[in-house]
Amino acid sequence: MQVDTQTPAQAIEVSARTIRRKRNRQLRISLLFMAPAFLVILIFMLGPAVWSVYVSLTNMALTGVGAATPQFVGLDNFVHIFHDGEFYNAFRVSLTYLVFSALIGQAGLGLLLALLMRRRNIVFKSVLGAIIVAAWVIPDVVAGFVWSAFLAGGPQSVLDPGLLNNIFSTFGLPKHAWLQEYPMTMVIIANIWRGTAFSMLLYASALESIPQELLEASAIDGASSWNTLRYVIIPLIRGAIGTDLLLITLATLSDFTLVYVLTAGSNMNTELMTIYQYRQAFQFYQIGYGSAIALLIIAAGAILSLIYTRILRVDL
C-alpha cells in the first residue's frame, strides 16, 4: 500500500501548476482561432498605415520623376506643408467645420433631442427617432445630392429653384444661391442634419442609465431644470459625452464626401484638410505629399482626443 507523503503546501503547488498548464493550453487554442483575424488586421490595417508613413517620407508621385524613381526625402514634405498657406486655410476651415457642425451642432442638438425624448410616449419617440435616424443611415453621396437639390437655384442660376428657394418665393422673400453665397454655413447645417442621430442615440442610452431616484431627489430639493442638467445629468453621462466628442471629432476630421458633393472642392472657403489632401494627391499627383497631409490629419484627431479626455477626466 502506497502512502501519499505530500504536504499541504506541495499539494497546493501541484494544483496551481495544473491550473496554469490548463490556462496556457486554453490561451494557445484561443490565439490559434484568433490568428486569422490578427493576420487580416496586420495585412489590411497595420500594413497600409506603415506604408503611408514610408510614402510620406518620399517624393512619390503619379507622374514625373517621383513616379519612375521615388526617392527618400525625409521630412521635406512636412516642411513644405508648414510653409504652404493653403494648408493653414484648410486647417482653419476644418476647425471651423468641426466646432460648429460637430461639437456644437451634433453634440449639442443630439443631447437636446435625447432629453426631449426622455420619458416621452412610445409614438413620439418612434416617429422622431425614425426621422432623425433616416438622415444618418443614407450614404454621404445621396445626402450631398439631396442637399444640392434642396439648396439649388438663385437669382441668376440656370437651375430650377430648390425647395428652400420655393419656400422663400411663397412668402415673398428673395431667392439666394445658397451654396455660392453662404457655402460654409450650408455645409455646416448639412453635416449637423447628417450626423446628429449618432449623438442622440448615444446620449439617449446614457440617460436611460441614470437612476430615476436621483432626478426625483433633485426635484424635491427644488433644483431647476438647468441645475438638474448641470449638476446631476451631465456629471453622470460624462463618459458618454467624452465618447461622443471623440468619435464625432474623428468622423468630422475625416469627412470628405458630403462637402465635396456640395461644393465640388472648388471653394477655398469650404476646403477641408481632406479635400486639400485629395487635391494634392490625386489632382496634382503628389502621393508622398498627400500621405504627409493624411498623417497630420490623424495627428490632429489624436491631439484633440487627448484634450477631451484631459478636460472631461474620463477613461475612454
What's the pLDDT at 109?
A: 93
Q: Which helix (DSSP H) or strand (DSSP E) does residue 48 occupy? A: helix 47-56
Closest CA to 113 of 102, 97, 99, 124: 124
Torsion angle of C-alpha atoms 157, 161, 163, 165, degrees rounded to 10: 70
Q: Annotate 279-289 with b (16+ C-beta within 10 A) or e (fewer).
A: bbbeeebbbbb
| Per-residue pLDDT tens digits of the chain, which is 316 residues long | 455 566 666 666 767 777 778 888 888 888 888 888 888 888 888 888 899 999 999 999 988 877 888 889 999 999 999 999 999 999 999 999 999 999 999 999 999 989 888 877 777 777 877 888 888 888 899 999 999 999 887 776 666 788 888 898 888 888 888 888 899 999 999 999 999 989 998 998 898 888 888 888 888 888 888 888 888 888 888 889 989 999 999 999 999 999 999 988 777 889 999 999 999 999 899 999 999 999 999 999 999 988 888 887 765 5
Would the CA dihedral through 181, 184, 185, 191 be positive or negative?
A: positive
What's the pLDDT at 120?
A: 74
Please state the pTM of the whole predicted model: 0.84
What's the pLDDT at 1?
A: 45
Contacts of 70 (CB under 8 A, 6+ apart): 58, 59, 60, 61, 288
Distance CA 22, CA 37 (A): 24
> CATH top-level class for 76-312?
mainly alpha
What's the pLDDT at 141?
A: 92
What's the pLDDT at 28?
A: 84
